[in-house]
Amino acid sequence: MSSLNSTVSPNAAFVRPQFFYINGFSNIPHVKYYYIFLCFVYAVTVFANSFIIFIIYRERSLHTPKYVAVLNLAVIDICESTALIPKLIHTFLFDSQFIAYEACLANMFFVHFFIAMQSLTLVVLAYDRFVAICFPLRYHTIMTNTSMFVIIACVCVFTATLHISLVLLITRLSYCKSIVIDSYFCDYGPMFRMACNDNYSQHIHAIICIALFCFVPFSLIVLSYVCILSALLKIASGEERLKAMKTCTSHFILVIMCYLPFFITYIAALMSVIHPNTRIICTSLSSTIPPMLNPIIYTLKTEEIIGAIRKLYKKNKLIAVVNQ
């Protein structure tokens, strides 16, 4: 990559390159099989989440605050995978690792934005379950479809604002040494670290974003579950307690899938040196697998979704019989 590094002059006061080179999955044997696997993941993600969106849209009994948030999560899952996987496949499977400066900033924004939105949507779902179990008599007053739309809109504006500032901070960096990004997309961390001018502001912004979109959401979810468990212990009937717990099962599994891989990778990086390829494989899996599994888990673990699917199937079967 020395020829690439020499395309910019170290003597320039400020260098904004015309393009970057995404290094990604270098020196990994049989890596093309991994790209084929990601193609399968993307296909399942789009189909499964589209199916969830269709079911929620068609079944009026699912037009509730909880399923407004679930529908929002399904849309985010499709958008996150679309922002990441097709570009990843095009970049590495077809040896198109050069990306224009502006396109790189756009790629950075959309990937990080949808990953952050997924994390905050899990917090919104946790809040919905917290109100439903801890304040059951006031649930329909506190949680309405309108209030859920407002919450999601506020989360979206907040997330977009922080990630726009993230991109703007990158434009203040000079790249006079290297244009090689050691990641599988235009990742914020590797990009600000390879700049040759002061990147302190970018480093602080990265810490703030990790806190706001990972540690704080996870802490709020854990706190909500502590309150939920406390409320469940006060329920005298074991049957009612079990029924209430079942409404949280899907969300709990999603939280584990979303946060556990990140924390494992993060802790491992703090305790030892992780090979860049190992880090890239782990982070790419943690970014692509949850969007695929989210709708499958909600379909298998949520009685309302299963009931809606059966109802829709019986309705279509009846229409087919009448038409015959």
**Which pLDDT does position 204 carry in this prediction?**
93
Do the bridges between strand 98-100 and strand 180-181 make them parallel or antiparallel, or are there none, so unpaired?
unpaired
Q: What is the pLDDT of residues 156-214, one digit of tens each?
A: 999 999 999 999 999 999 998 889 998 889 999 889 989 888 888 999 999 999 999 99
Q: Is residue 260 part of a domain?
A: yes
**Which pLDDT does position 3 carry in this prediction?**
46
| Chain centroid offset of residue 19 CA | 26
**Which pLDDT does position 32 carry in this prediction?**
83
Q: Is residue 13 part of a domain?
A: no
Chain position carrying tokens 């044997």? 29
Q: Contact, 128 vs 69, CB < 8 A? A: yes
Q: Which residues pair with 19 in a beta bridge?
A: 100
Tokens in use for 281? Answer: 């494989």
Task: Kindly give the parts of the chain with pLDDT less than 50.
Answer: 2-3, 5-7, 9-11
Q: Contact, 213 vs 199, CB < 8 A? A: no
Residue 100 parent element (H or E): strand 98-100
**For residue 249, what is the domain's CATH number?**
1.20.1070.10
Domain holding 122, by residue range, is 18-323
Q: Is residue 3 part of a domain?
A: no
Tokens in use for 172? Answer: 């203040």
Rg (CA), the chain: 22
Query: Nearest Cα to 250, choosing from 287, 298, 317, 309?
Result: 298
Distance CA 255, CA 253 (A): 5
Q: Is residue 1 part of a domain?
A: no
The residues, any chain, with a CB within 8 Å of residue 126's CB and separated by 6 or more, are: 220, 221, 224, 225, 251, 255
Task: Domain count for the chain, please give it.
Answer: 1
The dihedral built from the CA positions of residue 56, 59, 63 and 64, taken in this order, carries a sign that is negative
Q: Is residue 5 part of a domain?
A: no
Q: What's the longest Cα–Cα distance across the chain? A: 79
Tokens in use for 81? Answer: 């995978």
Distance CA 62, CA 59 (A): 6
Chain position carrying tokens 């050069």? 98
Q: Is residue 24 part of a domain?
A: yes
Q: Is residue 31 part of a domain?
A: yes
State the Cα torsion 229-231-235-241 to the nearest 10°.
Answer: -40
Q: Is residue 259 part of a domain?
A: yes
